[in-house]
């Protein structure tokens, strides 16, 4: 059977590929296997063959599509501007429609009903915090153990959802911050830092209660109806803000794509926290923090670098915080986290994670900056506590807070 959904890859998207192969060296799964069917060109050819009725959405098609990390490194280097991410989302939507399986239904339930449910995430967070406190992580099954080992210490934080933070003076505008499915419970210090920095720049920051999970993971797994529903909820929740900001690169990339999922998309512009903070430093709304703080390795999340094409911003933020950013991977290959990929393809994920961790350690820096929670967990799991991992905005906020403390204690001593 050829394609059956309106999300399917289109002739226009697929015919943009001229089969030049320039994307191949940038594709992690092609580099690991050397197989054409595990590279972007082969995957696009398979999608075209189904469109032409030469192939069907069968097991082999499922394997070729499911093995893709959706890192979009191929898209970023493609001279034909093939919208690979969109085509792959379409192929996954077809798999969801044409090859229903128990495993896919379980994933749909988790991505569509568990992740967007704050109460269930709260329960899962509580359970994980107990496992952390009792140091029972080693007893978890393999595919879950690695992400679990990459978690920050949980518990003891007040949620930002339903709250707002005000600047010292009249606000220059209102920012709606995406709480994220797990960002608020698992990465609270990143939200604290983002809100601290944005209010210091003069913004009122609100974290609307009515918002939900961004839907990126559901979209990547082909669950179209769920993705649309989540996008609709968020569009309404953020109707009254001037800017929508996310401090999780994977979420921001998906929010920027909302006009595909709901009519008109967001009314407000969407910005990644790194992008906005770098701009606020550039325009003098936020200061260059005095002092030198040593080196920091920079990890480029795929959905920051390849999907949003943001590379300068995290480095500028780190420099403004007094750090010397170190490059670790000129090829910017995926770290292997890739949403739920680490659970679905643990071996490949581990191989890519170990590669990235050795690049980080090879830099000699005592800390690595990553602007995406999935990458952060993958790095922490593979670095095994050898060096610290933090969001670039978090490092800037720490430096700014320390410098303010320093200034006020010095003025107090005078």
- Residues of this chain that bind ligand SF4 (CB under 6 A): 17-23, 26-29, 40-41, 43-44, 68-74, 78, 80, 82, 84
**Nearest-approach distance from CB 382 to ligand SF4, in angstroms:** 19
User: Least distance in Å: CB of 260 to ligand SF4?
Assistant: 17
DSSP E strand boundaries for 55-149: none
Cα distances (angstroms) measured from residue 373 to each of 105, 182, 186, 407: 25, 9, 9, 32
- Round to whole Å and give the CA distance between 229 and 233: 6
Report the residue number, 69 or 371, with the smaller CB distance to ligand SF4. 69
Nearest to 143 by CA among 377, 344, 7: 344
What is the smallest separation between the CB atom of 44 and ligand SF4, expressed in angstroms?
6
CB of 43 to ligand SF4, least distance (A): 6
- Rounded CA-CA distance 45/262 in Å is 29
Residue number, 47 or 115, with CB nearest to ligand SF4: 47
Q: Six-digit token pair at 257? A: 């794509």
Residue 46 CB, nearest distance to ligand SF4 (Å)? Answer: 11
Q: What separation in angstroms does the CA of 76 have from each of 91, 249, 330?
A: 19, 16, 14
| Closer residue to ligand SF4 (CB): 22 or 161 | 22
Closest CB to ligand SF4 among residues 25, 100: 25
**Minimum CB distance to ligand SF4, residue 360 (Å):** 20
Nearest-angstrom CA–CA distance, 255 and 272: 10
Q: Which is nearer to ligand SF4, 70 or 199 (CB)?
A: 70
Contacts of 121 (CB under 8 A, 6+ apart): 114, 115, 181, 182, 185
Q: Which is nearer to ligand SF4, 211 or 252 (CB)?
A: 252
At 298 the three-state DSSP class reads strand
Task: Find where tokens 């496992």 sit.
Answer: 131
């Amino acid at each position: 059977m050829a394609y059956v959904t309106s999300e399917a890859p289109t002739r226009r998207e697929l015919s943009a590929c001229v089969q030049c192969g320039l994307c191949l060296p940038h594709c992690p799964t092609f580099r690991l296997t050397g197989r054409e069917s595990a590279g972007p060109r082969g995957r696009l050819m398979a999608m075209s063959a189904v469109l032409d009725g030469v192939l069907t959405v069968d097991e082999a098609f499922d394997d070729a599509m499911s093995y893709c990390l959706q890192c979009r490194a191929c898209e970023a280097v493609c001279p034909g501007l093939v919208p690979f991410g969109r085509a792959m989302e379409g192929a996954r939507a077809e798999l969801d429609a044409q090859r229903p399986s128990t495993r896919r239904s379980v994933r749909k339930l988790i991505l569509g009903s568990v992740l967007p449910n704050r109460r269930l995430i709260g329960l899962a967070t509580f359970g994980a915090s107990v496992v952390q406190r009792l140091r029972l992580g080693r007893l978890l099954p393999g595919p879950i153990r690695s992400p679990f080992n990459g978690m920050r210490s949980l518990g003891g934080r007040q949620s930002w959802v339903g709250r707002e933070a005000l600047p010292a003076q009249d606000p220059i505008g209102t920012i709606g911050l995406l709480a994220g499915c797990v960002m608020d419970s698992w990465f609270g210090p990143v939200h604290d830092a983002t809100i601290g920095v944005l209010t210091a720049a003069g913004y009122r920051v609100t974290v609307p209660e009515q918002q939900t999970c961004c839907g990126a993971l559901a979209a990547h797994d082909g669950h179209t109806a769920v993705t649309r529903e989540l996008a609709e909820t968020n569009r309404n929740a953020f109707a009254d803000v001037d800017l929508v900001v996310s401090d999780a690169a994977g979420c921001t990339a998906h929010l920027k794509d909302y006009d595909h999922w709901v009519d008109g998309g967001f009314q407000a512009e969407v910005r990644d926290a790194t992008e906005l903070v770098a701009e606020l430093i550039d325009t003098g709304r936020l200061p260059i923090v005095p002092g030198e703080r040593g080196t920091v390795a920079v990890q480029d999340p795929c959905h920051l670098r390849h999907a949003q094409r943001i590379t300068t911003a995290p480095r500028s933020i780190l420099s403004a915080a007094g750090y010397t950013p170190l490059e670790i991977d000129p090829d910017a290959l995926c770290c292997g986290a890739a949403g739920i990929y680490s659970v679905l393809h643990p071996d490949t994920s581990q191989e890519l994670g170990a590669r990235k961790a050795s690049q980080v350690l090879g830099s000699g820096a005592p800390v690595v900056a990553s602007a995406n929670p999935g990458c952060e967990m993958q790095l922490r799991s593979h670095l095994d506590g050898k060096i610290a991992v933090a969001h670039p905005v978090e490092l800037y906020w720490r430096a700014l807070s320390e410098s303010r403390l320093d200034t006020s204690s010095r003025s107090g001593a005078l």
